[in-house]
Chains A and B, each alone.
Chain A
């Protein structure tokens, strides 16, 4: 399995799909480098629209294009699209049910060295609260490419966020995904670890470590943040003794809270631990350093699992 960034997988697949599907348009916000969408721009110049450093305008233009039947991908760093252009996403995309795919790259703490202006650890919270919007976070290049294809094939508003760096492969080529259905990437019966995006790999590492201690950990890749796979969460609450969530997001309003919402209303609630970034300004540092510092790590998940299971 190759080590490729999700954004590159997204761009490559979209460029490929645009050869057949003439309705695909891409809008950039002076971000063709950060999105790695230069290939699309070169190959389909008539369907690549450079909007400059103006995210609000770009998202609303995307809605106008989509209103007339185009499939529009508006791309840029997640920190800007999910914050500065949030009202445009809320109204022009979600409220108007336009066929716009908001693609936020270098999400979470990918831009950690750039400081707090460039983090997007709030986007699940904001986007989850918008009716009509599908929210996706692929965990590796295979999934990113597959979800890109899903976004092209389906009509409706969506937000997909991807990190900047190359990520470890989770899936083999050709793996199939159903949006709204969690992917079980490790079977387990003692505890369930639910992760999404780049944290899935860390959850898998944790499951491997737990196995050595005879703890059987189920790992769910919850790549669809919304609509959340409630059945998989309820099943985890029924079949395993505890649930840990792991996300590259604030503890507020993200995957953990979404899962907890289901768990507390299930017939068999179980203890939970939510791992993410605390409600404070994050230190400056590279993504891996921040993951390690704030406990988005296999070791921290292992410790939490043992604590929850009292072993």
Chain B
């Protein structure tokens, strides 16, 4: 595993996201930046992207349950050749398929998402299919921490444990902020590790920006048991302008902020030791 390469890639993709958000004056940049390293770990290390590109039946499946961070996934998919990078410029424009939440017919998107609390259940359905047809592939579902307030998440948490889905990994982008403020003020999600464990899951906590922790956590498999990775992250990770500020859930950078964020990201990329 070349961690430096992954770090560099995550920085470059954040720059793509910044351009999309700045040019389209739309998007959810804070959560896209907090979750970017998770996406990079999956799409540049853990999943066989060739199989996903070919829509092979035995491809790994990824569901972006926190669909509002679509631009992060679009940047990854364009970079991996699912569609052209030029198309990123259409983000949220009239008639585009690149809506602020993933739509159905985009190459590489398994299912349209956007209303929170659906993705884990959909992932269970996919994992049940893979198991029924004895397909050796894995399902990854990325959720937000604010999303944990949706009751349907816990219906799914119960069901995944009941079905003993060893081929399912839930990931929680634990940046501790949501649109109105701190998750613990808006609706305390509490100790997610203990909660999922009590529901019958294998629960792991790791630094969501440290690939040396993130990758082993995401690669963890336990017989007859789903795994949840609680990735401790920083909202707006990559620029001091945004980090840990709730407003950056979906704030659009001004021209000055854009330049500062860009410079911060470029510095971050440069600082990745060769």
Judge whether B122 and A56 touch: CB under 8 Å: no
Judge whether A63 and B111 touch: CB under 8 Å: yes
Q: Binary interface profile of B, 118-144, with partner A (CB < 8 Å = 1, else 0)?
A: 100111111111101100000000000
> Residue of B at shortest CB range from A27?
B125
Among A59, A60, A65, A92, which residue has its beta carbon within 8 angstroms of that of B129?
Answer: A65
CA distance A56 to B129 in the complex (A): 19
Judge whether A54 and B159 touch: CB under 8 Å: yes
Nearest-neighbour CB distance to chain A for B62, whole angstroms, equals: 12
Considering only residues 36-95 of chain A, those with a C-beta below 8 Å from chain B are: 46-47, 49, 51-52, 54, 56-57, 59-70, 72, 87-88, 91-92, 95
> Residue of B at shortest CB range from A87?
B115
User: Which residues of A are found within 8 Å of B128, using beta-carbon distances?
Assistant: 49, 61, 64-65
CA distance A61 to B113 in the complex (A): 14
Nearest-neighbour CB distance to chain B for A45, whole angstroms, equals: 12
CA distance A59 to B155 in the complex (A): 12
User: Which residues of B are found within 8 Å of A70, using beta-carbon distances?
Assistant: 129
Judge whether B159 and A52 touch: CB under 8 Å: yes
Judge whether A61 and B124 touch: CB under 8 Å: yes
Q: Binary interface profile of A, 116-156, with partner B (CB < 8 Å = 1, else 0)?
A: 00000000000000000000000000000000000000000
CA distance A95 to B57 in the complex (A): 22
Known: A54-B155, A96-B112. A61 touches B104 (CB 8 A): no
Judge whether B111 and A57 touch: CB under 8 Å: no
Judge whether B122 and A60 touch: CB under 8 Å: yes
Judge whether A91 and B152 touch: CB under 8 Å: no
How many chain A residues touch B (Cβ–Cβ < 8 Å)? 29
Judge whether A68 and B130 touch: CB under 8 Å: yes
B156 at the interface (CB under 8 A from A): yes
Judge whether B125 and A67 touch: CB under 8 Å: yes
Among A49, A51, A59, A64, which residue has its beta carbon within 8 angstroms of that of B111?
Answer: A64
> Residue of B at shortest CB range from A59?
B121
Judge whether B159 and A61 touch: CB under 8 Å: yes
CA distance A91 to B110 in the complex (A): 13
Known: A64-B122, A68-B130, A92-B122. A57 touches B115 (CB 8 A): no
CA distance A60 to B115 in the complex (A): 12
Known: A46-B132, A61-B159, A91-B114. A56 touches B126 (CB 8 A): no
Q: List 25 A-B contacts (CB under 8 A).
A: A49-B128, A51-B159, A54-B158, A56-B152, A56-B155, A57-B121, A57-B156, A60-B121, A60-B122, A60-B156, A61-B122, A61-B125, A61-B159, A63-B122, A64-B122, A64-B123, A64-B124, A64-B125, A67-B111, A87-B115, A88-B118, A88-B121, A91-B113, A91-B118, A92-B121
B positions within 8 Å CB-CB of A: 57, 104, 110-115, 117-118, 121-130, 132-133, 151-152, 155-156, 158-159, 162-163
Q: A57-B124, A87-B115, A98-B111 are in contact. List 17 more A-B contacts (CB 8 A).
A: A54-B152, A57-B152, A57-B159, A60-B124, A60-B125, A60-B152, A61-B124, A61-B125, A63-B111, A63-B125, A64-B126, A65-B125, A65-B126, A67-B122, A67-B125, A91-B112, A92-B118
